[in-house]
Every structure is written in structure tokens, then in C-alpha cells.
Structure 1
Amino acid sequence: MSWVARSNGIPRGRVGEVLEEAGLAAVAGKRVGTYSLGMGQRLGVAAALLGEPEVLIFDEPVNGLDPDGIRWIRRLLKEHAQAGRTVLVSSHLMSEVAETADDLVVISAGRIAAKGPLAEVTAGYASLEEAFFALTAAAHPAHDARSTS
């Protein structure tokens, strides 16, 4: 990761900081090819954090993470949002989105099906999953809210 920092004019000390934040400081000397999927996810996040961006965009951020990693990424997302940064997360895991998101945009067939605070989008539904299927049923009739599969 040092080369990423160097090529972007980021101080070398920042590498250690983000590796520590990502829980990878102890394995910093290992070859990346030996990393598990979850460790690779953490490394990608660490690389993204090097430049201290104001906007973070994640696609399926919990993929490959163990329970400790999931807790870490949740905390990271919330801390960055609370610090005033913009954090965008794309995920198909409704329970994970419900756990971490404040505001949602539900997209179906290339159109916005709903947007707003989590409580507003899920109002009248037992869960975000139920809201999602109801809101996207017109675009995907085989997957409407009454579907049991």
C-alpha cells in the first residue's frame, strides 16, 4: 500500500494509520495474495481511506467479512457519516442496510422507487425487505411482496 500512498503524494505515515484502522497492522508484511476475502475487503477500504476522502462509496461492503469485520465496517460507516462525510452504500442485503443506513434510495428497473429516511421508506411495512419488495413489485411482478420464495 506504500506505493499507492507514494503515487498520490500521501505521507507514508498515513499507511500505518489506515492499516491500523482496518485491523491489518499485524499482517502488513504479508503478501496480499495470502489474504482472505475479508482481509482483501479491509485492504481495499484502507486504500480508499488513505486520502481522507469526503465521499466514500461502498458496493456490498460486508461481502466476505466475518462478524468482527461486519462490526468494524458498520462502525466505520457511521463514524465517517457522523464526521460530516458522505457515505453511499449499495447492497442487496436488506437487513444490513436497515442496520446501517439513515437515508435510502430504492432503485428498481433504473428508476427511483422510493427515497427518504429509513423510517419513512419502511412506514407501513414489517421490515425493509417487505418495503423493498412492495416498492419494486411493478418492475418485478414475480417478486412482489406476497411471494414466498
Structure 2
Amino acid sequence: MTDIRLTCRIHREIDENFSKFGIEVHTDYLIDSLKNKIFETVKKIDNKIFSDIDATDLTLWKVEIHDADFSKLELKNNGAERTKKIQKIVSDYWKEQPSTEIIHVIVDSPSLHYKQENAELQEEIRIIQDARMFNRS
């Protein structure tokens, strides 16, 4: 099998300002190994993003999009926008080096979305409670 370089990007709902980054992988890697490599790379760049999750919480999507199309991307496993949820082995998706001009992998995490939403709700509850305490005074 072959070593390839994939361009990855964090899904905008997690961090819309996170720059794309490259990952070197062997095409016979399991997708779990790719997840671990992405997880460790992102933690080196910005340790806060994945501080509450593990690599197993990541969902990887195979895409073929240019940077300009990133903001319009919707992750659906229906092939409509040439997106596909990645599972099994890297060579199931890339047997050789793909074009370097596009993004290949979108990194998402439903667990992280849930935790972010929960933190936002907790903050809203705290604000409401503070307002009630203030109004009682």
C-alpha cells in the first residue's frame, strides 16, 4: 500500500476558524488509526478543541470540496454533495494520493456538539438564575 497526505478540516459547527491541516497516512491504516492521528494533530495545534472528548468520539467524512465551498457544506451520508461517512480502512476511500487542491476529510463529533450545546444551556440557566436573584433584591 501507499503513504498519502490528506487535507482535513474541523467542521464549522465545532470551530469555524480552524485552518485546514494535513495528515500523512498509510492506505492500509484502519480508520480508527486515522482518527487517532487527526485527534493528536488537532490537540497539538489547539488543545482546547478536543479537551472533553476522545478520538473515538470523532466522525470522519470523506469529501471532495474546495475551501471556498466549505461554508456551504452539509454533512449527509447521501452522496449528494460527494460526502461519505468514513469507516473501515483508508484504502476503501483512497488507494493513491488524491488531489492536493481540495479538502479530503471533514472532522466532526456529535459528542462535542452535545457538550457544547449543554454548556450553552447551562450558561443560559445561570444567567436566568442570576437575574431572578437580582430581581428579588
| TM-score normalized with structure 2 length | 0.24
Could you say which structure has the higher helix fraction?
1
Relative contact order (alpha carbons < 8 A, sep ≥ 6): 1 or 2 greater? Answer: 2
Could you say which structure has the higher strand fraction?
2
